[in-house]
């Protein structure tokens, strides 16, 4: 964990600048030969890797995780469409422009977590420069911008993203997100965020009160993080299918899950599949609980997600009761 409590304000800003910069590069590019000497100096990361990494393999691992399994974009997690772009992305861009920060990467949307880390690195670097130049008003203005971006963006979706990555079983990126969580929590605590801070997630559709709700609707709901409170990757759906020896097909996550639910219903295995999903949801609940236990400051940012995951648990339990009574939603 990045420990900043014993550092002066200028040293703290420098330490944050360097750590956010490293995290940004790892999240945007993966582990490269250029980054390897720096990663070797971070025990939490170095310990998860072989002594001589194959950088072609690390590139594939990065692409698989962040292109096919988990989509690390704020709009994917916070917009009801579950798609890139829209108001969330525009708000992120506005924050960048206000800070004088520009994303020079056409390959990824500006609301990628790596770009958001890069903005925080930029702001912390500007703060450090201001302290060095004896410009305390400028330094404090940079601190305010950091606080605002943490409050309005990073803290609102980082934790479900971190849990999603942890679910994929990649030791290196689990360690990357653990390091990032420690940094963000420490930063937010020292920034003194207002305790009444709370953000809202979009309203969810009332699925079970609608007679026309289908398994396709359920699958779309469960694969949209802003509704379900958790993120299912293609790999997650494939693991569910293998565990129950059911077909799931290929394609987008919602299609794969719809196929899996239909197959489970066809072979009278829907209650068992729903129980496995319930177990997964309970793991997410515990994950949110672990983050909440780290700092009371996180409560306003975690609560909306905890409420969503609790609602999803209730939804799955109700579906399981219907399925057990041989009255599945078709």
CB within 8 Å of 97: residues ≥ 6 apart: none
- Cβ atoms of 184 and 150 closer than 8 Å: yes
Q: What is the pLDDT of residues 74-100, one digit of tens each?
A: 999 999 888 888 899 999 999 999 999
Which numeric CATH code is attached to 9-191?
1.10.3480.10
Give CA–CA dist 315/278, Å, rounded. Answer: 10
Within 10 A of 32 (CB to CB), how many other CB atoms are there? 15
Q: Where in the chain is the domain with CATH 1.10.3480.10?
A: 9-191
Total-model pTM: 0.92
112 SS3 class: strand
Q: Which of 28, 20, 26 is nearest to 2 (CA)?
A: 20
**Residue given tokens 């987008």 in the structure block:** 252
Q: Which of 187, 189, 192, 191 is nearest to 19 (CA)?
A: 187
User: Can you give the pLDDT at residue 330?
Assistant: 47
> What number is the average pLDDT over the span 296-322?
93
Task: Kindly report the backbone phi and psi dihedral angles of residue 150, in degrees, each rounded to the nearest multiple of 5, phi listed first.
Answer: -60, -45
Task: Kindly report the backbone phi and psi dihedral angles of residue 304, in degrees, each rounded to the nearest multiple of 5, phi listed first.
Answer: -60, -40
CB within 8 Å of 246: residues ≥ 6 apart: 260, 263, 264, 267, 269, 273
266-305 exposure pattern, b = at least 16 Cβ within 10 A, e = fewer: eeebbbbbbeebbebbeebbebbeebbeeeebbebbbebb
User: Can you give the pLDDT at residue 54?
Assistant: 96
C-alpha angle with apex 200: 195 to 202, nearest 5 degrees?
A: 170
> What number is the average pLDDT over the span 240-255?
91
Q: What is the DSSP string of 87-110?
A: HHHHHHHHHHHHHT-----TTS-T
Q: What is the DSSP string of 271-309?
A: HHHHHHHHHHHHHHHHHHHHHHHH-GGGHHHHHHHHHHH
* Token pair in block for residue 16: 């944050």
Q: What is the pLDDT of residues 150-184, one digit of tens each?
A: 999 999 999 999 999 999 999 999 999 999 999 99
Look at residue 124 and tell me whether its pLDDT is greater than 70: yes
Q: What is the pLDDT of residues 255-284, one digit of tens each?
A: 999 999 999 999 999 999 999 999 999 999
> What number is the average pLDDT over the span 311-315?
96
Look at residue 67 and tell me whether its pLDDT is greater than 70: yes
Helices vs strands, H then E, count in the chain = 16, 0
């Amino acid at each position: 964990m990045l420990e900043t409590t014993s550092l002066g304000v200028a040293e703290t800003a420098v330490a944050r600048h360097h750590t956010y910069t490293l995290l940004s590069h790892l999240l945007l590019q993966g582990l490269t030969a250029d980054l390897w000497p720096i990663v070797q100096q971070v025990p939490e990361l170095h310990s998860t890797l072989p002594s001589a990494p194959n950088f072609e393999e690390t590139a594939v691992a990065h692409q698989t995780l962040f292109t096919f399994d988990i989509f690390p974009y704020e709009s994917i997690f916070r917009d009801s469409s579950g798609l890139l772009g829209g108001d969330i992305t525009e708000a992120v861009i506005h924050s960048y422009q206000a800070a004088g920060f520009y994303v020079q990467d056409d390959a990824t949307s500006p609301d990628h977590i790596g770009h958001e880390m890069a903005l925080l690195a930029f702001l912390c670097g500007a703060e450090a420069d201001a302290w060095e130049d004896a410009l305390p008003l400028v330094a404090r203005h940079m601190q305010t911008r950091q606080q605002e971006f943490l409050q309005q963006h990073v803290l609102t979706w980082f934790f479900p993203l971190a849990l999603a990555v942890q679910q994929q079983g990649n030791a290196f990126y689990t360690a990357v997100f653990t390091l990032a969580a420690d940094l963000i929590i420490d930063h937010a605590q020292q920034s003194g965020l207002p305790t009444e801070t709370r953000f809202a997630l979009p309203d969810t559709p009332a699925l079970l009160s609608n007679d026309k709700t289908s398994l396709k609707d359920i699958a779309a709901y469960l694969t949209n993080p802003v509704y379900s409170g958790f993120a299912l990757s293609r790999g997650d759906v494939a693991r569910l299918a293998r565990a129950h020896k059911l077909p799931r097909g290929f394609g987008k996550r919602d299609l794969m899950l719809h196929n899996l639910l239909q197959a489970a219903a066809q072979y009278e295995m829907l209650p068992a599949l729903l129980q496995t999903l319930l177990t997964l949801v309970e793991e997410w609940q515990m994950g949110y609980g672990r983050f909440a236990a780290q700092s009371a400051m996180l409560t306003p940012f975690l609560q909306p997600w905890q409420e969503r995951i609790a609602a999803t648990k209730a939804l799955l339990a109700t579906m399981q009761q219907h399925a057990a009574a041989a009255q599945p939603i078709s």
